[in-house]
Amino acid sequence: MIDVRTDLEYFRPIMTKEDLIKIIQGLLKTDADLNFLLQLKESELETLVACIRERVDEVGK
């Protein structure tokens, strides 16, 4: 049987909370322990990454 899911979540790459925290550390250029962010939901971490990335991009212009 073929899986014909149409849910967009099915096509999203798998990114763990730990991966998102590494991205945040990279954007902030820090090696500080940010594991307290693991308390956030994955969607909240994604929002935080997007906000930081947007701000960093603005400053870089």
Q: Which of 58, 56, 61 is nearest to 26 (CA)?
A: 56
16: Cβ contacts below 8 Å, ≥ 6 apart? none
Model pLDDT for residues 3-27, shown as the tens digit of each residue:
555 555 566 667 889 999 999 999 9
What is the pTM (predicted TM-score) of this model?
Answer: 0.71
- Per-residue pLDDT of 26-47, as tens digits, reads 999 999 999 999 999 988 999 9
How would you class 8 by CB atoms within 10 Å of its CB: exposed for 0-12, middle for 13-18, buried for 19 or more?
A: exposed
